[in-house]
A and B are shown apart, each in its own frame.
Chain A
């Protein structure tokens, strides 16, 4: 088989996702001229970046064959923490951010330990943690907080160079790192192995439990980071701000062609999925539909897309056998 053919076979699905985003974007740009203006694209890419960062950990978790339903309140917790901590003027803001990321990681690891070491089904465990965080964050902040996030977060979200926002550049940097981890490190390959066949992993000497637990920790870390970026973008933190990201983080992964059963897919696909969602949301808003109709269309489109991706994945699986 020629090299280019092999490349297409390996990456064809992911490339087709980018094709879809670009087509979608072009069609809408023709229908709505303002859509492709530089400033609007900048906003779109920042939105995609927030979805994409929240979906990094979700990709890891789904690759292992699990699911993380606790993204929304990990996200809100990260956002709230960043917003409140801005009042601590004598603490270095980098330290604050690192502290919050570490906190997100630790909370995610609670899921990880329960799922990997105690054998708790990921879906109930993460729904449970989500509920706990929902109550705790609401209780600790009494519903409303005032403050300001460290300046560096605002700069990250709103600043730009050559009309490309720093947030997007951060996302691209993270994408490169994530791809390296997934493709080139033992950890990345173990994630795939775990999703493909737990039985084989058991005999292969991979530390299954450590690999699996870490995926949930990573998810907590990036949910908190996405939350902080969101604070930078909107300029405030509020309860429930992370709620859309439960659906969006999972949808981005599914749209990107990652198998919901685990073991196949790539983060490059999730990047395309995040961009698709950002464009889709912008279109639905631009169409001036009522929120109810928006939700129905959004849900329907993603339903069809997830279904198509799953059917495609199943077919690939059965043709491999």
Chain B
């Protein structure tokens, strides 16, 4: 018997972190210079530490969002997962050290399960990711209101103390961000991440090249849920309380951050370096706006304009590349 060689379609050249990340680095540099001129006192290591601690919640969720965008999907349920974990941690966290660790592992497992469920529905029934994650998010918000009626509660004291620790002026958050960058540097050459880029670029060609597309998509959604759960835990430690609804507002920023970081909404282009840069860009802009005395709703307007402007520019570039 002859075994037929599967049809091999050429896969396009995969560039894990597109050139667009450098554009976002330039934006970041310009913003830093602007900050340095307008409010020089803001340029310090301790300030950087506190910004990082504040922004790590949305950064963690954005990492998962980026992965899902890379496979050509979208995850609108990250806000809901953050809310559920935030509420749960503010209500039910035990005080003992081992208890806290087990509890956190449990929370991550919940996040992975929710994300995995999204991925399962998307791949098994061939439903559009936005509608699945949008509906799931709606249900999650209901559940988190069931867990925690109104804003309040508090996590274990040891939990907050450990996560908010700082070594001199360097906070644990900064170390975690460095860890994220190192991990991405190591992981982005692995088979799984290459499969992610391949699936996002052309799912059909990937399947014909023997990539298990369903598995890759499922894992990407699951990881997004897990990242959102980590974000929920970090938010609890950082604010020292829970809220059943506040986390929901974080879904849009995760998209903004991923897109500013050079990740394409069409899948297959982007990466975590850009996402990390994007998280800082968003924060520095909002700090600058606050410094200039902008009221909060105008900074909401600006965030919207910023999202639209970035996505328009990226789409136009995408289109030019494709027509070439």
Contacts and interface: CB of A to CB of B under 8 A. Distances in A.
Given A296-B146, A299-B139, A131 B315 contact: no
B303 interface: yes
B308 A67 contact: no
A38 interface: no
Contacts of A135: 297-304
Contacts of A260: 127-128, 131
Interface in B239-270: 252, 255, 259, 265-266
Interface of A is mostly: helix
How many A residues touch the partner, as a band? Answer: 35 or more
Nearest to A317: B126
A134 B298 CA distance: 10
B290 interface: no
Given A121-B265, A132-B301, A307-B121, A247 B138 contact: yes
Interface stretch (A175-183, A209-217, A266-274, A287-295): A287-295
B74 interface: yes
A138 B297 CA distance: 6
Interface string A107-139: 000000010001111011101111111111011
Contacts of B59: none
Interface in B45-95: 74
Contacts of A290: 146
A254 interface: yes
B297 A307 contact: no
Nearest to A262: B128
B305 A132 contact: yes
Contacts of A291: 145
Contacts of A296: 139, 142-143, 146
A131 B126 contact: no
A295 B311 contact: no
Interface in B78-114: none
Nearest to B137: A299
A310 interface: yes
B144 to A, nearest CB: 8
A136 B302 CA distance: 10
How many B residues touch the partner, as a band? Answer: 35 or more
B15 interface: no
Contacts of A292: 142-143, 145-146, 149
B75 to A, nearest CB: 11
Contact of B304 (A121, A129, A293): A129
B322 to A, nearest CB: 9
Contacts of B299: 135
Interface string B113-155: 0000000010001111011001110110111011001000000
Interface in A260-314: 260-261, 290-296, 298-300, 302-303, 306-307, 310-311, 314
Contacts of B126: 310, 314
A48 interface: no
A135 B306 CA distance: 13
A299 B135 contact: yes
Interface string A248-259: 001100100000
A148 B294 CA distance: 30
Interface string B285-324: 0000000000101111111110110011001101100000
Given A131-B252, A250-B134, A136 B316 contact: no
B298 A118 contact: no
B69 to A, nearest CB: 10
A295 B142 contact: yes
Interface string A173-199: 000000000000000000000000000
Contacts of A123: 74, 130, 265
A311 B124 CA distance: 10
Contacts of B266: 121
A306 B135 CA distance: 9
7 contacts: A114-B308, A118-B315, A128-B304, A133-B304, A139-B295, A299-B139, A307-B125
Given A296-B143, A303-B136, 8 more contacts: A119-B319, A124-B259, A129-B308, A131-B252, A139-B297, A250-B134, A260-B127, A307-B127
Interface of B: 74, 121, 125-128, 130-131, 134-136, 138-139, 141-143, 145-146, 149, 252, 255, 259, 265-266, 295, 297-305, 307-308, 311-312, 315-316, 318-319
Listed from nearest, the 9 A-B pairs whose CB atoms lie closest are A135-B300, A131-B304, A295-B142, A135-B301, A132-B304, A296-B142, A299-B139, A292-B145, A128-B308
